[in-house]
Amino acid sequence: MEGRCMKCGSQKAMIDTVMTRTARGTYMAKGKCESCGTTVCKICSKDTAESLVSSGEVKKGY
């Protein structure tokens, strides 16, 4: 899964990714940038979040 790293300034692959839910109920994938180690987040729809968790690409954290 990829997300935008603010430190690197481009789309980077995330490692140790966990799917969480925000206070408003939206789904968010949080992980670390493979290059610099900065936290990277990506907002996802419910369908996308459930498919990523069921495929084993990300861990379920909610």
| DSSP helix/strand/coil, 52 | helix
Do you know the residue count of the chain?
62
Q: What is the arithmetic mean of pLDDT over 36-52?
A: 94
For residue range 4-41, list pLDDT tens digits in order.
998 988 999 999 999 999 999 999 999 999 999 999 99
pLDDT-derived band at 62 (thresholds 50, 70, 90) equals: confident
Amino acid symbol at 46:
K
Task: Give ∠ CA 3-41-56 in degrees, rounded to 5.
Answer: 75
Q: Residue 6's pLDDT is what?
A: 87
Integer Cα distance of 59 and 51 in angstroms: 11
Domains of the chain in sequence order: 2-53 (2.20.25)
